[in-house]
Chain A
C-alpha cells in the first residue's frame, strides 16, 4: 500500500545550518496496517509524514502509494487519497465556517466541487449521521461556527473530516498532544474506532510510548533521521515501555533525549 525507498532529506544543505532530517529511510506498509511512530525531538517524524503527504519532497528516493509512484505529485493531488490530522487543533478546520460547511470541504476531496449546488438535504443527513458517531453532540450544531468549539471538539471534527471519505492513508502527527488528558483519551478512542470502521492504513506519530504500544499493529522508533527499531504485530504484543527505552539505549548507546516521552510514564 505504502512504500518508501531510500528517502533522504536535508534542510539548508551545505550551509552551517544544515539539518539532515531523513537519512535513507526505506519502509513499507500493507493495506490496513496501523503503524505508530515514536522518537526523540527532531528525529524526523514530522518530516517523514510531510514526505508522504507531499508538503515536502525528498532530495533522493521515492514514495509509492497503492502501486503508484507519487514522489513528484503535489500535495493537493495526493490529498485525494490521504487524510491528515495535525497537532494543532486550529489547523484542521476553518474557524469562520460552520460545522456543516467544514464537512462539505472535506467531502470535496472525493468529487468535483459544484458551482450550482450547495449542501443538500441528503448530504446534510449524511453529515449528521457521521457526526453522531463522535457522540459529542456536534450533529445538533451543524450551523455553529467551528471557531466556537473547544480544542477537543475541533480535533474530533478534524479526525472525522479526515476519515469519513475513506482515504487510502491516514496521517496523524501528534494529534492529541495539544489536548488535556480527558480529551486525549476521547480522541484516541475515536481514532481507534474510525480507523477500524473504515479499515484505514494509518501512520500515527505520538510522544506517548504507552499509546504507541497500545494502538496499531506495528511500531517504528526513529532517531536522527532513520528508523532504528521496529516491531511487527507479534513483537508488538509483548512490548513494554522499558523494552523500548532499552532498545533505544542498545542501538544508540545513550538514553533517549525526549523529556515528554519519559514524563509520559
Chain B
C-alpha cells in the first residue's frame, strides 16, 4: 500500500512534465491538442532507439524532447498555415505519428532492461554517494523505517528535474514573449492588433508543449525499461485529468501556482490510479474509463452547478417580484 503510494509519487512526477505540456496547449493556448498521444511515444521512441544504440542517455532524453517539439510545431503549422481546426490538426498528427513511431522503433516494443538509461546512471551515482542511508535516518527516528521506500533516487532526481522544468516554464511565461503567448490564447485578435504575429506564437507554444510531452515520454520509457508503440493511447486525457484535478484542488490565478497545481494534480491522479487498481473488481484496463469519467465530470459538474444556481436565483427573484406585486395590490386595495 505505502509502496504503491511512493510509486504514485514517482510516476506522478514523471508524467507531470507531460501534464505541464498539456497545460500549455489546453489552458494557455486554448488549443485542444491531441498530438500528445503521438508525441509522447515519439519522445520515448527516439530516446529508446538512441539508448539501445549506445548514445549517452542525457542526450537521448533531450533528443526525445526535441522530437516532441518538431511534432508540436507541425501541428501548429497545420492549424495556422493550413487553416485546419485545432482538434483535427491534432488528430491528423496523432495518426501520422503512430506510423512514424513504428518506423522509428522498427518493432512495436523495445526492451531496455540491460541498457544504460538515465535512471540506471542516476542510480549508480546515488549508490556511490550512499544517500539512501542518510535519508533513511528520519524514518528510523520515527520508527517507521518499514514504510520507507526501497530507494529515494527516483523521487529525488525527479523532484530536481520537475523543479527545473517548472522554474524555467514559470520564468518564460512571465517574460515579454511568455506574456504574449498567454495573451494569444486569451484574446488572439487583440494581440494581433498590437502588431504580433500570433501564428508564430501558436506554433512556438505548440512546440514547447509537445517538447515537454516528448521529454516526459523519454523519461517514462527509461523508467519502465521498455518502449511500446501503444504507450501513448489516452495520454491526452491523463494529462487533462491531471490539469483539472490540479486546478480544482490547488489552483490559483498566479502562473507559479498553476504550474505547481498541475504537478500536484498529476501526482494525485497517479495516487487515484494506484488506489483504483486495488479495488477488487477493477482491472488496469478500466483505468481509461475512470480517467474519462474524471475529466467528463470535471467538465460537466461546474456547468451543472452554475445552471442550478441560476435557476435558484431565478426562482428567488420571481418570488420576490410576486411578493412585491402582492404588496402593491394590497396597498392599492387599502
A97, B179: Cβ atoms closer than 8 Å: yes
Contact with B along A210-231 (1 / 0, CB 8 A): 0000000000000000000000
Instruction: Name 9 interchain pairs, CB-CB below 8 A, sorted by A.
Output: A79-B196, A97-B182, A97-B183, A105-B190, A105-B191, A108-B180, A118-B176, A118-B178, A145-B253
Q: Which of B172, B177, B193 has the most CB of A within 10 A?
A: B193
Query: How distant is the Cα of A97 from the Cα of B177 in the complex, in angstroms?
Result: 14
Query: How distant is the Cα of A102 from the Cα of B192 in the complex, in angstroms?
Result: 13
Tell me whether A108 and B175 are in contact in the complex, defined as CB-CB below 8 angstroms, given that A94-B190, A97-B186 are known contacts: no
Q: Give the chain B neighbours of A94 by CB distance below 8 A.
A: 182-183, 186-187, 190-191
Contact with A along B183-214 (1 / 0, CB 8 A): 10011011111111110000000000000000
Interface size on B, as a range, is 20 to 34
B174: CB under 8 A from chain A?
yes
Q: How far is the CB of A170 from chain B (nearest CB, A)?
A: 12
A80: CB under 8 A from chain B?
yes
Looking at the complex, which one of A76, A96, A114 makes contact with B195 (CB distance below 8 Å)? Answer: A76
Further 4 A-B residue pairs, CB within 8 A, beyond A101-B183, A116-B175: A79-B193, A79-B194, A104-B176, A105-B191
Which residue in chain B gives the minimum CB-CB distance to A116? Answer: B175
A126: CB under 8 A from chain B?
no
Q: How far is the CB of A161 from chain B (nearest CB, A)?
A: 8
Q: Give the chain A neighbours of B180 by CB distance below 8 A.
A: 105, 108, 113
Q: Give the chain B neighbours of A78 by CB distance below 8 A.
A: 195
- Which residues from 54 to 107 on chain A have a C-beta closer than 8 Å to any C-beta of chain B? 75-80, 84, 91-97, 101-102, 104-106
Q: How far is the CB of A163 from chain B (nearest CB, A)?
A: 12
Which residue in chain A gives the minimum CB-CB distance to B191? Answer: A105
Q: How far is the CB of B245 from chain A (nearest CB, A)?
A: 21
Which residue in chain A gives the minimum CB-CB distance to B254? Answer: A143
Closest CB pairs A-B (n = 10): A79-B195, A94-B186, A113-B176, A94-B187, A115-B177, A94-B183, A96-B186, A118-B174, A80-B195, A114-B176
A182: CB under 8 A from chain B?
no
B177, A105: Cβ atoms closer than 8 Å: no
Looking at the complex, which one of A76, A114, A118 makes contact with B196 (CB distance below 8 Å)? Answer: A76
A115, B187: Cβ atoms closer than 8 Å: no
B contacts with A: majority SS: helix
Give residues in A with beta carbon < 8 Å to B.
53, 75-80, 84, 91-97, 101-102, 104-106, 108-109, 113-119, 145, 161
Looking at the complex, which one of B174, B176, B177, B187 makes contact with A91 (CB distance below 8 Å)? Answer: B187
Query: How distant is the Cα of A114 from the Cα of B181 in the complex, in angstroms?
Result: 12
Q: How far is the CB of A68 from chain B (nearest CB, A)?
A: 15
Looking at the complex, which one of A84, A92, A95, A105 makes contact with B179 (CB distance below 8 Å)? Answer: A105
Q: How far is the CB of B170 from chain A (nearest CB, A)?
A: 11
Query: How distant is the Cα of A114 from the Cα of B182 in the complex, in angstroms?
Result: 14
B253, A105: Cβ atoms closer than 8 Å: no
A75, B177: Cβ atoms closer than 8 Å: no
Which residue in chain A gives the minimum CB-CB distance to B180? Answer: A113
Looking at the complex, which one of B187, B192, B197, B198 makes contact with A95 (CB distance below 8 Å)? Answer: B187
Q: How far is the CB of A264 from chain B (nearest CB, A)?
A: 28
Q: Give the chain B neighbours of A75 by CB distance below 8 A.
A: 192-193
B192, A93: Cβ atoms closer than 8 Å: no
A76, B192: Cβ atoms closer than 8 Å: yes
Q: How far is the CB of B27 from chain A (nearest CB, A)?
A: 10
Query: How distant is the Cα of A80 from the Cα of B192 in the complex, in angstroms?
Result: 10
Q: Give the chain B neighbours of A105 by CB distance below 8 A.
A: 179-180, 183, 190-191, 194, 196
Tell me whether A92 and B192 are in contact in the complex, defined as CB-CB below 8 angstroms, given that A97-B182, A113-B176 are known contacts: no
Query: How distant is the Cα of A116 from the Cα of B177 in the complex, in angstroms?
Result: 8
Q: Give the chain B neighbours of A97 by CB distance below 8 A.
A: 179, 182-183, 186
Q: Give the chain A neighbours of B253 by CB distance below 8 A.
A: 145
Q: Give the chain B neighbours of A80 by CB distance below 8 A.
A: 195
Q: Give the chain A neighbours of B193 by CB distance below 8 A.
A: 53, 75, 79, 84, 92
Q: How far is the CB of B54 from chain A (nearest CB, A)?
A: 35
Q: How far is the CB of A115 from chain B (nearest CB, A)?
A: 4
Which residue in chain B gives the minimum CB-CB distance to A102? Answer: B183
Tell me whether A77 and B191 are in contact in the complex, defined as CB-CB below 8 angstroms, given that A101-B183, A113-B180, A118-B176 are known contacts: no
Tell me whether A114 and B179 are in contact in the complex, defined as CB-CB below 8 angstroms, given that A76-B197, A76-B198, A80-B195 are known contacts: no
Query: How distant is the Cα of A84 from the Cα of B193 in the complex, in angstroms?
Result: 7
Which residue in chain A gives the minimum CB-CB distance to B192? Answer: A76
Query: How distant is the Cα of A94 from the Cα of B187 in the complex, in angstroms?
Result: 5
Which residue in chain B gives the minimum CB-CB distance to A103? Answer: B179
Query: How distant is the Cα of A92 from the Cα of B198 in the complex, in angstroms?
Result: 15
